[in-house]
Amino acid sequence: MSNQRYSGRLSSVLDVRMRDGNKEYWTASGELGLVSGRLTVEGPIVKNKSSLLLAGRASLLNWVLRPYSRQFKSRKGEEGESSYAFYDFNAKFNVEIGGKDRLFFSFYRGQDDFGNQGDSQDTLNLLISDRVGTFRFRQVYREKLYWTNTGGSLRWSHILNKKLFANTTLTFSELNVNIATASSDTVAIILPIPSIDYDADFGNYSSSIRDLGARTDFHWDIAPGNKVRFGLRIQRNHFVPGIEEYDDDYKEYIPPQGSISRTVHTTGWSLYVENERRFFARRLYCNYGLNVAGWNVDKKNYAILEPRVAISYLLADSTYLEASVSRMSQFLHLLSGTNIGLPTDLWVPSTGQIGPELSWQYTLGIRRNLWRGWNLGIEGYFKQMKNLVNYSEGANFLDDWEQNITVGSGRAYGLDMMLRKDAGRINGYIAYTLGRTDRIFPKINLGERYPFKYDHRHDFKIWGDFRFSSKVDLSASWVFSSGLAFSLPQDAFTVEIPGVSPPVTVIDFGPKNSSRLPAYHRFDIGLNLHFFSKKGIAHHFQFGAYNAYSRRNPLYYQLRTIYVEEDGRLKEEKVFTGVHLLPFLPSINYSVKF
Question: At 12, is the secondary structure helix, strand, or coil?
Answer: coil
Q: Is 336 left (phi over 0), alpha (psi -120 to 50) or beta?
A: beta
Residue 280 exposed, middle or buried by CB count within 10 Å (0-12, 13-18, 19+): exposed
Per domain, the residue ranges of the chain are: 27-483+518-593
Q: 2-16, 116-130, 428-442 — which one is most confidently predicted on average? A: 428-442
Confidence of residue 566 (pLDDT cuts 50, 70, 90): confident
Cα separation, 456 vs 453, in Å, equals 8
Cβ neighbours for 556, distance < 8 A, ≥ 6 positions apart: 340, 341, 342, 343, 578, 579
CA 182 to chain centre: 23
SS3 content of the chain, % helix, strand, coil (to 5): 5, 70, 30
Question: CA 290, CA 275: separation in Å to the nearest integer?
Answer: 10
Cα angle at 427 between 425 and 428, to 5 degrees? 160
Can you tell me the mean pLDDT for 368-374? 88
> Which has the minimum average pLDDT: 23-27, 92-96, 237-241, 520-524?
237-241
Predicted confidence at residue 251, as pLDDT, reads 41
How much of the chain exceeds pLDDT 90, in percent? 54
Give pLDDT tens digits for 40-68. Answer: 999 999 999 999 999 999 999 999 899 99
Residues forming beta bridges with residue 507, ordered by sequence position: 492
Instruction: Give CA–CA dist 243/436, Å, rounded.
Output: 31
pLDDT band at 292 (very low <50, low <70, confident <90, very high): very high
Cα separation, 49 vs 40, in Å, equals: 20
Residue (of 559, 591, 589, 588) closest to 575 by Cα position:
559
Answer yes or no: are the C-beta atoms of 235 and 267 closer than 8 Å.
yes
Q: What confidence score (pLDDT) does residue 255 get?
A: 45
* Distance (Å, whole) CA 356 – CA 294: 10
Q: Using 50, 70 and 90 to split pLDDT, how confident is the model at 282? A: confident
The pLDDT value given to residue 46: 93
Mean pLDDT of 426-453: 93
- Bond into 502 cis (ω within 30): yes
What was the pLDDT predicted at 12?
A: 73
> How far apart are alpha carbons 78 and 118 in whole angstroms?
6
How confident is the model over 249-278, as pLDDT tens digits?
A: 544 444 444 455 568 899 999 999 999 999
Nearby residues of 590 by Cβ (< 8 Å), 6 or more positions away: 31, 32, 33, 539, 540, 541, 542
274, 451, 480 from 517: Cα distances, Å? 44, 13, 13
pLDDT at 256: 46
Would you say 53 and 40 are in contact if contact means Cβ atoms under 8 Å apart? yes
Say yes or no to pLDDT of 226 above 80: yes
CA distance 485 to 95: 51
| pLDDT reading at 549 higher than 50 | yes
Q: Is the pLDDT of residue 544 over 60?
A: yes
pLDDT (tens digit per residue) in 382-413 = 999 999 998 887 665 545 677 778 999 999 99
Q: Which helix (H) or strand (E) holds 73?
A: helix 62-75
Distances (CA, A) of 432 to 363, 424, 429, 463: 16, 23, 10, 12
On whether the CB atoms of residues 266 and 295 are closer than 8 A, the answer is: yes
Fold of 27-483+518-593: Maltoporin; Chain A (2.40.170)
> What CA–CA distances, in Å, run from 328 to 331, 406, 437, 440?
10, 21, 17, 20
The predicted pLDDT at position 517 comes to 85
Q: Are 287 and 309 in contact (CB under 8 A)?
A: yes
Of the candidates 66, 58, 101, 103, which has an alpha carbon nearest to the alpha carbon of residue 82? 66
Integer Rg of the chain from CA: 28
pLDDT given for residue 492 in this prediction: 63
Q: Can you tell me the mean pLDDT for 488-507?
A: 64
Task: Please give the DSSP secondary-structure letter assigned to residue 75.
Answer: H
pLDDT at 341 over 90: no
Sign of the alpha-carbon dihedral angle for 312, 291, 293, 219: negative
Mean predicted lDDT score pLDDT of the chain: 87
Instruction: Work out the pLDDT band at 338, boundaries 50, 70, 90.
Output: low
**pLDDT digits 0-9 by tens, 415-430:** 999 999 998 899 999 9
- For the whole model, what pTM was predicted? 0.86
pLDDT reading at 157 higher than 90: yes
Q: What integer is the mean pLDDT of 185-206?
A: 76
- Checking if the pLDDT of 248 tops 70, the result is no
